[in-house]
Amino acid sequence: MTTKPKLTVGVVLFNGFATLDAAGPMQFFDQLHDEIETITISHESRIVYSVPPNGGCPMMANYTFENTPPLDILLLPGGLGCRTLFHDPRYQEFILAQSKRVKYILTVCTGSGFLAATGLLNGKRATTNKKAFREIEKLSSAVLWVQHARWVVDGNIWTSSGVTAGMDMVYAFLTMLFGTERLKIVLEIIEYTPSCDDTHDPFAYLADA
């Protein structure tokens, strides 16, 4: 029997990333280690912190923008630190280059701002963290921003609402790839009950609060 090659997921890290934006999806990926290889990527340094300069959750990046191996999936988390990076040419060049190679791009929370700033969301439906919705919305009027959504799928781009919504989105994404029965095992291991309705967003009101 021929073994299918693993899918490689690249998670971009930066100082000021939101811990669960990255760690939540990565927990799912870890449980699918026979199907998925997860790597971490950072332009800034080998170790980045969720509360810079040296606080919060430290995470180690094992690749840089320059030596990232071929990816199948790119994951962009959000967090307070991403605001100053949306228009950083190093990030824009990396994301644009990867967009031409990967099969899928996933963003969690304000991570969708990276795609909005590069123009990759022009004419596409997308969502983001609801407390930051108006701020991220201003990055591009060409994006069809969806306020009432736990997550949004448009083509090969998946965008989620804030933080925990990333886990629900990744569950739906991985179910699409590997099926309900495979993901049922994962849910039992991590003891998680996902929201399976992408239109159910109890936090949508926060965009105008």
For residue 118, what are the domain limits?
7-208
The answer to whether residue 2 is domain-embedded is no
Specify the number of domains making up the chain: 1
The answer to whether residue 176 is domain-embedded is yes
At 2 the pLDDT is: 54
Point out which residues pair with 153 in neighbouring strands. 158
The answer to whether residue 189 is domain-embedded is yes
The answer to whether residue 133 is domain-embedded is yes
The answer to whether residue 55 is domain-embedded is yes
**What are 131-185's pLDDT values in tens digits?**
999 999 999 999 999 999 999 999 999 999 999 999 999 999 999 999 999 999 9
CATH number at residue 204: 3.40.50.880
Spatial separation of the C-alpha atoms in residues 77 and 106, rounded to whole Å: 8
Spatial separation of the C-alpha atoms in residues 51 and 58, rounded to whole Å: 8
The answer to whether residue 53 is domain-embedded is yes
pLDDT surpasses 70 at 1: no
The answer to whether residue 59 is domain-embedded is yes
**What are 64-74's pLDDT values in tens digits?**
999 999 999 99
| Cα dihedral: 198, 203, 207, 209 (round 10) | 160
**What are 81-116's pLDDT values in tens digits?**
999 999 999 999 999 999 999 999 999 999 999 999
* pTM for this prediction: 0.96
